[in-house]
């Protein structure tokens, strides 16, 4: 499973999270999470309800 898929799955089952919190929960590097978030936003699978927080659409 790609990091992108793991991030999306985590966000589907939780409240909006910061990228650092996502990285901590998935035990991966924050830079990888930031890259996954960028791609997920481009694909319109996640949104940012408030600055620096992310949630699944």
CATH number, domain containing residue 46: 1.10.10.10
- What is the number of alpha carbons within 13 Å of residue 38 lying toward its C-beta? 6
Q: What are 13's two structure tokens? A: 């089952």
Q: Which pLDDT score, from 0 to 100, does residue 20 have?
A: 96
Q: Which pLDDT score, from 0 to 100, does residue 1 have?
A: 75
Domain containing residue 26: 3-56
Instruction: Provide the domain count of the chain.
Output: 1
pLDDT digits (tens, 9 = 90+) for 19-55: 999 999 999 999 999 999 999 999 999 999 999 999 9
CB atoms within 10 A of CB 28: 15
Distance CA 28, CA 20 (A): 10
């Amino acid at each position: 499973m790609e990091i992108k898929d793991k991030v999306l799955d985590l966000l589907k089952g939780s409240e909006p999270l910061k990228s650092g919190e996502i990285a901590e929960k998935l035990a991966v590097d924050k830079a990888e999470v930031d890259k996954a978030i960028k791609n997920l936003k481009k694909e319109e699978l996640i949104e940012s309800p408030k600055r620096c927080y992310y949630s699944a659409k």
